[in-house]
Amino acid sequence: MIILGLGGLGRNAAAAVARDGQLIAAVEQKKMARNPTPGVLPMEAIRACLELAKAKPEAVDIVAIARPFSSESELHLELRTHFPRARVVAAEHHMAHAAAAYYFSGFERATVLTLDRNGDFRCGARWMAEGTQLHLEKELYYPDSIGDLYSRVTELIGFDANAEEHKAQWLPASGTPAYASLFEQVFPLDGGWARHTDRRFFDGERISRGGFSTRFYEGLGLAGGAPPRGKMAADIAASLQATVEKIVLQLAGTGENLCLGGGVFLNALLVAALERSGQFKNVYVQPSADNAGTALGAICIAWHQVLGQAGRMQLGSFCLGPEYASALSRNDPGMLSRIDPSARQGRG
């Protein structure tokens, strides 16, 4: 039984392959094609996975794909062309995040928390997992999104949204949470899941610097929507981080084991706060917590939920893609420039 998993087709597309319950390969499209096109099948990643699995397209039994996706879409027709005998299984986006986090954790029972910017209109969910079953408990819907707020602030302080959140994550090291009370107004701390961002702090007509409103800038003490820089930018990042940590600690609840998935949990400081909180004895983060990891989750959903298999797959190593022999790289000095064109200008 060969299962091909696909995920992150909107952004961070990836493919993965499992054979008879064993994960064989997982590859991100951007590692194979330096300028991947959003919304299309990650064919280079697919080919790399099938090559590692020593399988031809016609040998694939199931294609499990994390939404957004529909049976009427052009992608579905394209899948039928490439994999004529395969059954196509669509997995809901946040369930794919949850599956990738839980099924590889090794826990037999756990709370599973998923948070991202937006996926299938949801931006967060909490699940109770036991055995091979995932039971949905709570949901957050866009635009009440922690991930979206983080991306907006990333752009506000001068970085690229959806690309440089990691820079905003570490900036608090040089700042203080001087504006935490403002962010608690934007995303109120009500102690539960009935959350609603205060839309008065956003302006839909502003398309730059996060789209914040005059009310928000006044809360920062900035006149005329001037961009924050220097120490102020660091303080804003620290305030956001502190508020996000408080919110997520509330959303997680308490228990023995906690599994985390979704792009928000690429934030190492947030994960550390969860570990320090003592709310859970054990915390596991899916190594590919972003949308690429939904390819792994889609495989798990097909294996456990569709095929009804009990045996859990193992993620013994995260080195699941193609590799180059060291002797080959030494004998081919031009390899680096072909892999990364920027190396030709000495920027690699």
Query: Which pLDDT belongs to residue 347?
Result: 43
pLDDT value, residue 102:
98
Q: How far apart are CA 242 and CA 184, in angstroms?
A: 10
CB count within 10 Å of CB 313 equals: 18
What's the pLDDT score for residue 331?
63
pLDDT, residue 315, reads 85
pLDDT of residue 326: 63
Per-residue model confidence (pLDDT) at position 323: 85
For residue 159, give every residue at least 6 positions away whose Cβ sits within 8 Å of its Cβ, in sequence order, or none. 165, 167, 168
Three-class secondary structure assignment of 187-240? CCCCCCCCCCCCHHHECCCCCCHHHECHHHHHHHCCCCCCCCCHHHHHHHHHHH
Tokens 């220097």 belong to 230
CATH number of the domain at 2-94+292-336, please? 3.30.420.40
CATH topology of domain 109-282: Nucleotidyltransferase; domain 5 (3.30.420)
Q: What are the 10-residue block averages of pLDDT along the chain, 348 residues in total?
A: 93 94 96 78 95 97 82 74 93 96 98 92 95 95 93 94 92 95 91 81 86 94 83 97 96 97 97 98 97 97 96 88 70 60 48
Strand order in the sheet with 122-130: 133-141, 122-130, 109-119, 255-261, 280-285
Q: How far apart are CA 109 and CA 282, in angstroms?
A: 11
| Annotated domain spans of the chain | 2-94+292-336, 109-282
The reply to whether domains 2-94+292-336 and 109-282 share a CATH topology is: yes
